[in-house]
Amino acid sequence: MGKVLVLYDTNTGNTKEMAKYVAEGAKTVEDTEVRVKFVEDATKEDILWCDGVAVGSPTQMGIISWRLKKFFDEELIDLWGEIDGKIGCAFSSSGGWGGGNEIACMSILTVLMNFGFLTFGVTDYVADKFTLHYGAVVAGKPKEEYEKEACRRLGRRLAQWVAYYVDGREEIINQIRKETGA
């Protein structure tokens, strides 16, 4: 059974709302166990438990929030070299479009890569001109259906990659190809 952790920080509740939809998407993949954790309640045991993690941050000065950065810097530093090969992705909410949320996602992915996580983006379009190449992004909280679907799609794809790479479920790759039209 694949294990997915949705780890998030939030100031206003917007990124927490995104985390809820990311978890919904992950749960659509059969045989996936999902945990959702606010960064202040998370521990290194949560990271050791999971096979894949979706990390969500409010965009703060265009990068990852200080609480998430502190979690990786202080809580996870002892796991250096021990968590290589887990799968990771990113999501972020900003105060407005052009507020830096894709850059915040890139900063999350950079932190994950430094710990040895295998990171990914999603090429699927969930609406006209709306994709999640660097992760799911919204301005404010997800209100429109396509914004919610971006979050769900990210969680689903994370759970699919866990099912494929960790659990060896070969049929998953055909599901992904069908969903992406590849």
Domain ranges (residues) in the chain: 2-180
φ/ψ (deg, to 5) at 20: -60, -45
Specify the CATH number of the domain 2-180.
Answer: 3.40.50.360
pLDDT digits (tens, 9 = 90+) for 98-123: 778 899 999 999 999 999 999 998 98
90-99 pLDDT, tens digit per residue, is 999 987 777 7
- 158 token code pair: 């994370």
Looking at the whole model, is its pTM more than 0.85? yes
94 close to 142: Cβ distance less than 8 angstroms: no
